[in-house]
Amino acid sequence: MKRFAVVAVVLFASAVFAAEEAKKEAEDDKAKTYRRLIPADVLRDFPGMCFASTKCATVEPGKTWDLTPFCGRSTCVVSEDKPPRLLELVEDCGPLPLANPKCKLDEEKTNKTAPFPGCCPQFKCEDGAKLEYPEIPTVAPVPEESAPAASSTPKA
């Protein structure tokens, strides 16, 4: 149960961080990017290294790899837990905005083959129109006495 609580706290903290980063980027009118920590895939023959499935390769802690054919990148991270665990810091474009007839994909500015974050979709809206993004459900911290539960935390 303690392990689940630690994972829940790590995921919650990364979700809060991602929400704050998304808010800052929205204020700057830049492309939205999202960051989240997830448990890393680890191969039994390569403990201490993350497995990058998009590369079919192992990656040392602290190293980053792109997520081609997806738009994003990941970094192998060692947690501060005791004992330490491997985590994957995933950075990507996040969810697409909700449909809005006054906003269209900007084909001229969107470059799907550019390195991250340049590959994220760019949108052009009519004056006064704004893009809205879907809520991203996150795991909230759970007291050790409670049963595991998931909840939705609104983004900033």
Stretch (H or E) spanning 35: strand 34-39
In a domain, 151, yes or no: no
Q: How far is CA 61 from the centre of its chain?
A: 18
Judged by DSSP in three states, 153 sits in coil
pLDDT in tens, 67-86: 999 999 999 999 998 999 99
Task: Note the pTM of the prediction, 2 decimals.
Answer: 0.65
Based on the structure, what is the number of domains in the chain? Answer: 1
In a domain, 34, yes or no: yes
pLDDT in tens, 20-29: 544 444 433 4
pLDDT in tens, 87-104: 999 999 999 999 999 999
pLDDT in tens, 103-148: 999 999 999 999 999 999 999 999 999 999 988 776 544 444 433 3
Domain range spanning residue 20? 2-95
The answer to whether 77 and 36 are in contact (CB under 8 A) is no
The answer to whether 82 and 93 are in contact (CB under 8 A) is no
